[in-house]
Structure 1
């Protein structure tokens, strides 16, 4: 089995399970996990970056949060 075969199987799997995957990404559990990860990443970025970009970091964190979970 070559790389192309594995990629095609992956595409098939995603297409066949699109609804289940979407439900999982927008679940309460995904919301909790994503919040923890995004909060940690934003806190780290704020420690490293100048204070002048804190607002932009929060904005990007909130945009990413809107894509995963149910809130």
Structure 2
């Protein structure tokens, strides 16, 4: 299983499945990250957290712990 955390800078991935329960999953979905959405990894902070992404035409920063809950292909 490949997660968003494993995607390298400059690559694009498509969301296959969201893991997590309740409010955590809801928050991820509220950010526009849903099944089938393309995510482009723009950059990663020097210490590895957070990641800066392009999702649905806007920029979004996500913690590595949240990125581990997003399964991609």
TM range (shorter): under 0.3
Per the normalisation by structure 1, the TM-score is 0.24
Q: Identify, as 1 or 2, the structure richer in helix.
A: 1
Q: Identify, as 1 or 2, the structure richer in strand.
A: 2
